[in-house]
Amino acid sequence: MNAAVAISGKTKLYGVIGHPVTHTLSPQLHNTSFNALGLEAAYLPFPVHPDQLQDAIRGMVALGVCGFNITVPHKSTILPLLDEVSPLAQRIGAVNTVRIDDGKLIGTNTDASGFLRSLYPLGLELKGSTVGLLGAGGSARALLAGLSESGAARIFVCNRTPERAEDLVSSLQQFAPETKMAAVSLFELESQPLDLLVNTTTVGMDGVSAPADLERFREVRNVVDIIYCPPQTPLLTQAERLGLPNLNGLGMLLHQGTEAFAFWTGEVAPEAEMRATLESALNIG
């Protein structure tokens, strides 16, 4: 599936830094896309210890690396080491993609834009919509920033630890005065008519538990679970049973990659090939 990359003197190098990086699907995803478009480029995993982040980044610039992804635990600590950071990534406080232009490190966050792009199949008009977010971790933060930038009118955040939801809302509300954000209990969330309910918690990764019972909600029009493994969590099984349009997290995973690819190369990513690579790596499809 993952055809060998032909290396030459003109090969452009990309990669991902993280600690650990052994589980990342990004090398398969991006080497597939370079091959599909016939680009002379290769993508490698770089395990970088937190103590060596600055040295690693200097090394990337010195070696002429063209761009890289950033994963746990460097997504936030990398910010002060960059020359430019997109306003959305600044608000999220996390960068997952960097392009190196003439030695300048330019950071962005494609988790948020990738999530928004992944919603297209639902045909949902985000402008003026009401959204419920389950969870208040790093993913919820990216989604809250992205959804408010897309013009959602109301976003309710519900988390097991309510203080985290309150902190999240109070830190992002100032950047999106047109969106009404509120930290709410599950009981309060259930009473709101929602255009979209998104699970950003890890509940459901075990294939058994669900973060909420959809039957208790007054109205939910669409359901997204950003978990992609298993591809159908109990929450999505329930959405399916209730006839609600729903998506898992594969689209977000795919589109954080297609958006990173476009950010680096200026080309439209080969979406079908990238999706097939992910489905085969995850044994689905």
Query: Which positions are annotated as active-site residues?
Result: 75
Residue of this chain nearest to ligand ATR (CB atom):
137
Q: For residues 233 and 208, what is the distance between their CA atoms, to the nearest angstrom?
A: 7
- Closest approach, Cβ 139 to ligand ATR, in A, equals 3
Tokens of 65: 């690396």
Helices (H), the chain: 26-37, 53-63, 87-92, 110-118, 138-149, 162-172, 186-190, 234-241, 250-265, 271-281
What is the strand order of the sheet 196-199 is part of? 180-183, 154-158, 130-134, 196-199, 223-225, 246-247
- Closest approach, Cβ 169 to ligand ATR, in A, equals 13
Nearer to ligand ATR, 53 or 183 (CB): 183
Nearer to ligand ATR, 49 or 160 (CB): 160
Nearer to ligand ATR, 127 or 216 (CB): 216
Q: Using CB under 6 A, list all residues that contact ligand ATR.
A: 135-140, 159-161, 164, 200-203
Contacts of 23 (CB under 8 A, 6+ apart): none
- Closest approach, Cβ 24 to ligand ATR, in A, equals 14
Nearer to ligand ATR, 110 or 201 (CB): 201
- Closest approach, Cβ 201 to ligand ATR, in A, equals 3
Residue pair 155/181 in contact (Cβ under 8 Å)? The answer is: yes
- SS3 at position 254: helix
Cα–chain-centroid distance for residue 79? 17
Residue pair 17/107 in contact (Cβ under 8 Å)? The answer is: no
